[in-house]
Amino acid sequence: STIQEKGQISIHTENIFPIIKKFLYSDHEIFLRELVSNAVDASQKLKKLAGFGEFNGELGDLKVTVTLDEEAKTITVSDRGIGMTAEEIKKYINQIAFSGASEFLEKYKDKLDEKGAIIGHFGLGFYSAFMVSDHVEIITKSYREGSEAARWICDGSTEFEITEAERAEHGTDIILHIAADSEEFLDKDRLRSILEKYGRFLPIDIEFDGAIINNTAPIWTKSPSDLTDEDYLNFYKELYPMSEEPLFWIHLNVDYPFNLTGVLYFPRVKNDFQIRREKIQLYSRQVFITDEVKDIVPDFLMMLHGVIDSPDIPLNVSRSFLQADSNVKKINGYITRKVADKLGELFRNDRAGFEQKFDDIGLFVKYGIISDEKFYEKAKDFCLVKNVDGKYFTFEEFSAAVKENQTDKNGSVVWLYTNDLQKQDGFIESARKRGYEVLLFDTVIDSHFINQLEYKLEKTSLKRVDADTFDKLIDKGINNESVLSEDDRTKLKTLFEEALDSKTGTVSVEAMPTDELPVIITLPEFFRRMKDMSALSGER
Ligand code: ADP
Ligand code: MG
């Protein structure tokens, strides 16, 4: 069909403005993140310009200062960055969704290295100031020689005013006149905690109440070769002052096909499944974004601690991240691979040390094996199983060790295990008398892990030591003639079933002439495993 008309869609600012202010950001406290980010950007730009020879004045101390005046009911964010001329205010501030940050990146894209670049992006952050302010004032002076200072004021309507102003140095003050319904922010402690939350690792000093609140060079921004173990441990303490020392860490550092840096720590978790999650913090260019890292970090690694920083995680304007993005999936896969490689390396380089840590890392490894096929492919070579004497084997080593002695009628290797050293003590003893190896699987995740092993490992069957009589579990070609008559057996069986209140046919009576156990009662592997698993999921 023929085109009737082509045209431009127009926006009525007075209608869209309240929407931007009210609904763009769900969390009002982020106004501080946005304004401080802008101040940091302004400072970084000046630094870069000095580097490119486009600014020849004194850089001086570029710190950003946040000031609270409870009486005047103002919060001021000041920087000594590039500042703005009146023309630039009109261009960058008055034009909603025009980003001076993106413009800068575009203009200098050939000269800028990826790292330490600019935070801003959408050209909307500044307007978050109106979520908490009656009116907002800007007093600013451009770094360009001979610039006049300018003052901009706006009450959140679509009208603004620009006048001349006094300012000795280049840079910008953003003065928020806090609205009556936002007076909660006129509180020193509240402000400090917001600043610390979002600005703790910003690359330019942030001063509040006479003190610098941030570490401008956190270790993830550095090269691993410049860092010592102590640096990593100190950083861990900085992040989690109350936690025990971590076991080891992984420094993430990739720039293709996405940019990502970070440090992940393996905490000591022991057998503790209830440990608090959401310990990993997500940053974008050193600005804190969130500690809900679901989707970015594979589920089985959610208990790790540490920091991930990626400018390539697609953030929407409110900087919550978008799920189901292909970069997010790639990042997730990358982290899985990195963790698997690091574990493999630890295993190969220091088997004894790896075994020592395995009680702590085993939970992650097993969870990973259960939930992630790619992780399994790597982990099957370093995942360990432990026998009742505390000796560790890889899967392959264990199968090799028991292959001769422990196979069933179908020729499958039988991995005997116990999940309770005390209760199954008699069975374990009998097994050992026969020269059988018994593994210890007594952690919360083991019933799932056992299922997974049986499914993954070829010609291998896992049986709990009390699953049946050994002569039925393991085929040695021995024909153990029962010394009991059929009649005696039935009587005994009925007796035990009554005593156990069990009519499920789970009692089997065997007389074992060669054994110290006169009678054994077993519960078939399959039933029992089902029971274990449903008990586990009921608990969680
Ligand atoms: P973004 O940071 O995503 O570009 P903002 O709405 O936060 O968008 O800010 C819009 C623009 O206003 C910035 O890109 C920048 O050009 C200018 N600006 C904001 N704050 C400052 C400041 N403190 N100093 C200099 N320029 C600023
Ligand atoms: Mg911004």
pLDDT along the chain (540 residues), means of 10: 86 78 82 96 96 92 97 98 97 88 88 73 88 96 96 92 95 98 97 97 97 97 96 95 90 90 87 60 92 87 92 72 73 93 96 93 93 95 97 97 90 94 90 92 92 94 86 68 74 80 65 59 72 60
Out of 45, 80, 92, mutate this one to test ligand 1's pocket (max ligand atoms within 8 Å of CB): namely: 92
* Ligand 1 atom showing the smallest separation from residue 79 Cα: 23
Whether ipTM > 0.90 holds is yes
**60 C-alpha to center of ligand 1: Å?**
21
Amino acid in the structure at residue 25: Y
203 cis-preceded (ω within 30 degrees of 0) = no
Structure tokens, 170: 């280049």
Structure tokens, 473: 């579990």
Q: Is 537 exposed, middle or buried (0-12, 13-18, 19+ CB in 10 A)?
A: exposed
Counting ligands in written order, the one closest to the CA of 85 is: 1
Q: Answer whether 34 contacts ligand 1 (Cβ < 6 A).
A: yes
Cβ neighbour number for residue 244 with a 10 Å cutoff? 9
> For ligand 1, atom 16, which residue shows the shortest CA distance?
100
* Ligand 1 atom showing the smallest separation from residue 39 Cα: 23
* DSSP secondary structure letters along 59-100: -----EEEEEETTTTEEEEEE-S----HHHIIIIISSTT--H
> For ligand 1, atom 12, which residue shows the shortest CA distance?
92
Q: Answer whether 99 contacts ligand 1 (Cβ < 6 A).
A: yes
Amino acid in the structure at residue 416: L
Q: Is the dihedral of CA 21, 26, 31, 35 positive or negative?
A: negative
Which residues carry a binding-site annotation for ATP? 34, 38, 79, 84, 99-100, 172, 319
Residues 215 and 201 sit within 8 Å (Cβ to Cβ): yes
The closest alpha carbon to 285, from 166, 113, 131, 164, belongs to 113
Beta-strand relationship, 64-69 and 206-208: parallel
Q: Answer whether 128 contacts ligand 1 (Cβ < 6 A).
A: no
Give the burial string for 409-446 (b: 16+ CB within 10 Å, else e).
eeebbbbbbbbeeeebeebbebbbebebbbbbbebbbb
Q: Answer whether 368 contacts ligand 1 (Cβ < 6 A).
A: no
Rounded CA gap, 421 and 39, in Å?
62
**34 C-alpha to center of ligand 2: Å?**
5
Record the pTM.
0.85
Rounded CA gap, 5 and 163, in Å?
43
Give the number of C-alpha atoms closer than 13 A to the C-alpha of residue 55, restricted to the C-beta side: 20
Rounded CA gap, 32 and 137, in Å?
15
Out of 25, 35, 79, 126, mutate this one to test ligand 1's pocket (max ligand atoms within 8 Å of CB): namely: 126
Give the pLDDT confidence score for residue 539 in this predicted structure.
44
Give the pLDDT confidence score for residue 41 in this predicted structure.
96
Give the pLDDT confidence score for residue 540 in this predicted structure.
38
Q: Answer whether 445 contacts ligand 1 (Cβ < 6 A).
A: no
Give the number of C-alpha atoms closer than 13 A to the C-alpha of residue 105, restricted to the C-beta side: 16
* Ligand 1 atom showing the smallest separation from residue 122 Cα: 3
Give the pLDDT confidence score for residue 109 in this predicted structure.
86
Q: Answer whether 122 contacts ligand 1 (Cβ < 6 A).
A: yes
Rounded CA gap, 164 and 186, in Å?
28
The answer for residues whose C-beta is within 8 angstroms of residue 496's C-beta and 6 or more apart is 507, 509, 521
Give the pLDDT confidence score for residue 277 in this predicted structure.
55
